[in-house]
Amino acid sequence: MVATGILGTGAALPEKVITNFDLEKMVDTSDKWITERTGIKERRQAAPNETTSTLSVKAAKKALEMAGIEPEQLDLIICSTISPDMPLPATASIIQRELGAGTCCAFDLAAACSGFLFGMTVVDQFVKTGKSKYALVIGAELLSRYLDYQDRSTCVIFGDGVAAGVMGPVNSSSGILASEVHTNGAFADHLYIPAGGTARPATCETVQAREHFIKMRGNELFKVAVRSLEEVSRRVMEQANVHAGDVDLFIPHQANQRITNAVCERLGLPAEKVYSNINRVGNTSSASIPICLDECVRSGRIKKGDLILMSAFGAGVTWGSVLMRW
């Protein structure tokens, strides 16, 4: 039985940096509040000519190069995004065309901040059954395009970024050991964009009412996030028969440093085993975990044989964990 592993990673961050001091000039906030309540100091913002697909192609090329795989060898492309280039077609189609990846299966997946782990879990099923050999999973978000820079409760948190992983069959002593993904639609209206879909198509009124921007009940989500992340992390460790003490590196979705700290305290994971880059990139939704992964792989923080736990929580609400041996 083969296992599914990550063969290469790549990331693409926009160059423009928005600091907390920049935000102080836009909304009633402060560097002190943002730092203490979220851990964020700065985030990236895409240039007007950059799109979800252009950054995805950059990240994908780096991941393919590291994996030593040609675009034509891909038989599956999943673009996890809630900020696509346009409503139709899927951003994955544009990425496939720009990469020259033939006519392989390519689709978008909308599971918000948990999307990369949802994508990895889908790929795992394709690879294990032999349906797919090499797959590209991308976490891609340009959330700045959906941020209301008059709403201090959201515009300070989110940032733009993209990262990709090439996945494929590996020796069964490595790769994905366990994964679990969940959705609870009861909280669907806790983090959403009210207009622009079939429920409220775009009109002059919806634009004037700022209904095309992200709305979030952050405080309520915070509690659900901590509980869900703890539970699902415990469950994948149980499935693989490992303990928190065995984990070499925990990569949580970078939602809020206080959420990460609370989850790690409950799981008994010491700070030196936890990766965080939220201070530099903010919350990049589905790009958050793969950006961390890419930084860890390229800096040597992840070594062959390491046990890696990744857990995410996001709009939907969605949550999940993937445990893998590198």
Tokens representing 319 are 């949550």
Torsion of CA 87, 185, 120, 110, to 10 degrees: 10
Under the binding rule (CB under 6 A), the answer on residue 219 touching ligand UT7 is yes
Tokens representing 209 are 């009412």
DSSP H stretches of helix in 9-114: 20-24, 31-38, 52-67, 91-99
Which listed range, 46-54, 74-82, 178-186, 221-229, lies at the site for ligand UT7 (CB under 6 A)? 221-229
Under the binding rule (CB under 6 A), the answer on residue 292 touching ligand UT7 is no
Cβ atoms of 167 and 135 within 8 Å: the answer is yes
Task: Please pick, among 20, 253, 292, 296, the residue that the annotation labels catalytic.
Answer: 253
Which listed range, 26-34, 195-203, 205-213, 294-302, lies at the site for ligand UT7 (CB under 6 A)? 26-34
Q: Which of 126, 275, 313, 319 binds ligand UT7 (CB under 6 A)?
A: 313
CB of 278 vs ligand UT7, minimal distance in Å? 10
Active site residue 113: yes
**Cα angle for residues 162, 274, 122 (degrees, 5° grid):** 50
Distance, CA of 50 to CA of 18 (rounded, Å): 16
CB of 255 vs ligand UT7, minimal distance in Å? 4
- In a 10 Å sphere around its CB, with 0-12 CB exposed, 13-18 middle and 19+ buried, how is residue 87 labelled? exposed
Q: Which of 9, 38, 286, 311 binds ligand UT7 (CB under 6 A)?
A: 38
**Interface of this chain with ligand UT7, residues 155 to 194, rule: CB under 6 A:** 156-157, 191
Phi and psi for 69 in degrees, rounded to 5?
-115, 140
Q: Which of 69, 111, 167, 221 binds ligand UT7 (CB under 6 A)?
A: 221
Under the binding rule (CB under 6 A), the answer on residue 283 touching ligand UT7 is yes
Under the binding rule (CB under 6 A), the answer on residue 109 touching ligand UT7 is no
Which listed range, 192-200, 217-225, 237-245, 299-307, lies at the site for ligand UT7 (CB under 6 A)? 217-225
**Residue with CB nearest ligand UT7?**
218
Which listed range, 129-137, 152-160, 171-179, 303-311, lies at the site for ligand UT7 (CB under 6 A)? 152-160
The residue assigned the tokens 């609370």 is 262
CB of 208 vs ligand UT7, minimal distance in Å? 24
Quote the DSSP letter at residue 246: G
CB of 164 vs ligand UT7, minimal distance in Å? 20
Count the residues of the shown chain that bind ligand UT7, applying the rule CB under 6 A: 21
Under the binding rule (CB under 6 A), the answer on residue 37 touching ligand UT7 is yes
Tokens representing 195 are 């207009």
CB of 306 vs ligand UT7, minimal distance in Å? 25
State in Å, rounded, how far the first CA of the chain is from the last one. Answer: 17
Cβ atoms of 109 and 136 within 8 Å: the answer is no
Q: Is the dihedral of CA 214, 216, 222, 227 positive or negative?
A: negative
Torsion of CA 6, 42, 299, 305, to 10 degrees: -40
Residue ranges in contact with ligand UT7 by CB under 6 A: 29, 33-34, 37-38, 113, 152-153, 156-157, 191, 218-219, 221-222, 225, 255-256, 283, 313-314
